[in-house]
Amino acid sequence: MQRGLQTLIRLALLALVLGLWEVLPRIGAVNPMLLPPLSDVATTLWGLLGRANVREAIAVTTLEVITAFAIAVPLGAAAGILLAENEYLGAIFKPMLFYVFSIPKSIFLPLFILAFGIGFGQKVGYAAFTTTFVVMMSATAAVESVRGDYILVARSFGATPAQIIWRIYVPCMMPVLLETLRISMIFNFTGVMIAEMYASRTGIGHLISNWGENFQLPQLFAGIIILSAVAIAFNETVRRLEARVGAWRQ
Amino acid sequence: MAAVSMNGSARAPASDIALEVRGLSHVYEAGDRAVPALQDIDMSVRAGRFIVIVGPSGCGKTSLLMMMAGLRAHSAGTLLCQGRPIPTPDPTRVGVVFQEASLFPWLTTLDNIEFPLSLRGVPAEERRRRAEAMLSLVGLKGFGARYPHELSGGMKQRVSIARGLVQDPPVLLMDEPFAALDEQTRMTMGHELLRIWSTTSKTVVFITHSLTEAVYLADEVYVMSPRPGRIIDHIEITLPRPRTYEMMATDVFGRLRERIWQQIRHAQ
């Protein structure tokens, strides 16, 4: 009952925002050049999805996002787990990791352009670079969430090292790891977008940046809607999984 | 006290002596210092006895228990469980019940109890059957599907006991299992433990800070000194069984408790 009411309020708010988006530019309360009415944006969006160059841009961006993610997640997870498990390496590298983590990664983008040229390599490289740090930090936290008592208990029942990994570490870390996956995808997506908007010839980020420069506001908003939809869909999928796997965490 | 007069040449058959500790010492390294933790521990525990070890914090009693469980090495001396050394954990000989909250929070009560069996690849059906049996032994029938965070402190420790017993080991080691419980629950759990013990005829080694708990539960109490931990007294608790709450008010109970207290106090 309570939840139903909450959903109802949320839907009402959404309808209100969309309604205002349609009405305010139409009655001239907001400059329609800056905020085109929702129906115009929707028409543009439909038209854009049918265009070959937009479809290609979506395909390019998707491939970049997936590639960067596929590089950053195993790399960051392996490095993070190694730093958390190996006291010696941890002592040396953990403080350095915190220093580097605090630096805004976008200032390294020009270096990636110089190293890879403008294109796939530069965008994937930059996004993977920013994401690796996030995954590393979270993976370290995930390992540290495994309490020593659990391992001692498992050992007392004769668990082998492999059993300790599969029966203790994995289930204990799984909710944190999924959370890592979700958050690192946000960083990963942002990385690709920044790289595309900064210097690129293809991709959704490049199109959005162009539309902005040419004052094509309906296209710009349509692009924002496409990207938001993709990002929210991924985030919610992982979050569902996270809630199911982590039900035991009170 | 026949149990104390054993020596190396006249070793009793393994079936009679569940645990034997002779001249056990342990020294651990802290930085470049060698810290003596345990010194010349001698214990001889007959099968089926309820042994309680008391001593001040940091006296090494938990270390001693971990050694009996095969979880920690010792520097010198002999430690035999069922007549054989125990260099690594052997759940078929020794079950362990830890302090609070050692249940795995991601497993249900039944899965927690089955955990030791599943490590050894016992078939699912048999696992479930044995876990269910343990669950009713500890009085938690019907709680199998609950997660640990849905159980009270006392219930969690019942599950811990069930998990420690599920492989049917002859020896059960318990490291301050009720220390985190409130006084009332603690008394009830002590009583419950005695009931479980009397139906399973296990050898129990139980560590506690509570002198009342020690006298109430034990056949024999070993008193340990502060670090380096030594056995400074070994007391036979002559109170009849089954033990009742009323016994706590008797003179005998008071004198036994007082004797342990004096030993601990003077050893400081």
Give how far Cα A177 sits from Cα of A74, A168, A248, Å: 11, 14, 15
Residue percentage of chain B with pLDDT more than 70: 94
Find, in chain B, the residue whose alpha carbon is nearest to that of A156: B89
Which residue from A239, A154, A73, A209 is spatially nearest to B120, judged by alpha carbons?
Answer: A154
Token pair for B206: 């139980």
Token pair for B185: 């629950």
Task: Please tell me the predicted confidence (pLDDT) of residue A1.
Answer: 59
Q: Which CATH superfamily is domain A37-249 in?
A: MetI-like (1.10.3720.10)
The two beta strands, B76-81 and B17-30, are antiparallel
CA angle, A125 as apex, A120 and A130 as ends, to 5°? 135
| Residue B253 touches chain A, beta carbons under 8 Å | no
> B26 pLDDT exceeds 90?
yes
Task: Please tell me the predicted confidence (pLDDT) of residue A22.
Answer: 93
Question: CB distance A149–B98 less than 8 Å?
Answer: yes
Report the predicted TM-score, pTM, of the whole model to 2 decimal places: 0.77
> B6 pLDDT exceeds 60?
no
CA angle, B143 as apex, B142 and B147 as ends, to 5°? 155
Task: Please tell me the predicted confidence (pLDDT) of residue B15.
Answer: 59
Question: CB distance B91–A157 less than 8 Å?
Answer: yes
Task: Give pLDDT tens digits along chain A (250 positions).
Answer: 578 899 999 999 999 999 999 999 999 898 988 899 999 999 999 999 899 988 999 899 989 999 999 999 999 988 988 888 888 888 888 888 888 888 888 899 999 999 998 889 999 999 999 999 999 988 888 888 888 889 999 999 999 989 998 999 888 888 888 888 888 889 999 999 999 998 888 888 999 999 999 999 999 999 999 888 888 888 888 888 888 877 777 5
Give how far Cα B97 sits from Cα of A82, A229, B73, B105, B207, Å: 31, 51, 19, 16, 10
Least Cα separation, residue B116 to chain A (angstroms): 6
For residue B249, how many other CB atoms are within 10 A of its CB? 8
Task: Please tell me the predicted confidence (pLDDT) of residue A45.
Answer: 92
Least Cα separation, residue A132 to chain B (angstroms): 28
Integer Cα distance of A106 and B97 in angstroms: 53
B171-189 pLDDT per residue, tens: 999 999 998 889 899 999 9
Give how far Cα A233 sits from Cα of A174, B7, B106, Å: 21, 73, 27
Torsion angle in degrees (nearest 10) through CA of A74, A80, A84, A88: 110
Task: Please tell me the predicted confidence (pLDDT) of residue B9.
Answer: 40
For residue B65, how many other CB atoms are within 10 A of its CB? 22
Sign of torsion over alpha carbons B110, B113, B114, B118: positive
- Out of A157, A171, A248, the one facing B119 most closely (by C-beta) is A157
For residue A90, how many other CB atoms are within 10 A of its CB? 16
Average pLDDT over residues B236-240: 91
| Residue B98 touches chain A, beta carbons under 8 Å | yes
The single residue listed with the structure tokens 């162009």 is A210
Residue percentage of chain B with pLDDT more than 90: 74
Least Cα separation, residue B159 to chain A (angstroms): 13
| Residue A35 touches chain B, beta carbons under 8 Å | no
Label each residue of chain B as H, E or C: CHHHHCCHHHCCCCCCEEEEEEEEEEEEEECCEEEEEEEEEEEEEECCCEEEEECCCCCCHHHHHHHHCCCCCCCEEEEEECCEECCCCCCCCEEEECCCCCCCCCCCHHHHHHHHHHHCCCCHHHHHHHHHHHHHHCCCCCCCCCCHHHCCHHHHHHHHHHHHHCCCCCEEEEECCCCCCCHHHHHHHHHHHHHHHHHHCCEEEEEECCHHHHHHHCCEEEEECCCCECEEEEEECCCCCCCCHHHHHCHHHHHHHHHHHHHHHHHC
Integer Cα distance of B105 and B116 in angstroms: 15
Domain edges within chain A: 1-35, 37-249
**What number of CA atoms fall less than 13 Å from residue A116's CA on the CB side?**
18
Task: Please tell me the predicted confidence (pLDDT) of residue B58.
Answer: 82
Average pLDDT over residues B34-60: 91
Average pLDDT over residues B74-80: 93
Integer Cα distance of A86 and A135 in angstroms: 17
- Out of A155, A159, A171, the one facing B106 most closely (by C-beta) is A171
Integer Cα distance of B264 and B159 in angstroms: 32
- Give the model's confidence band at B156: pLDDT under 50 very low, under 70 low, under 90 confident, else very high: very high
| Residue A2 touches chain B, beta carbons under 8 Å | no
ipTM of the modeled complex: 0.85
Question: CB distance B105–A249 less than 8 Å?
Answer: yes
Integer Cα distance of A9 and A123 in angstroms: 40
Task: Please tell me the predicted confidence (pLDDT) of residue A250.
Answer: 59
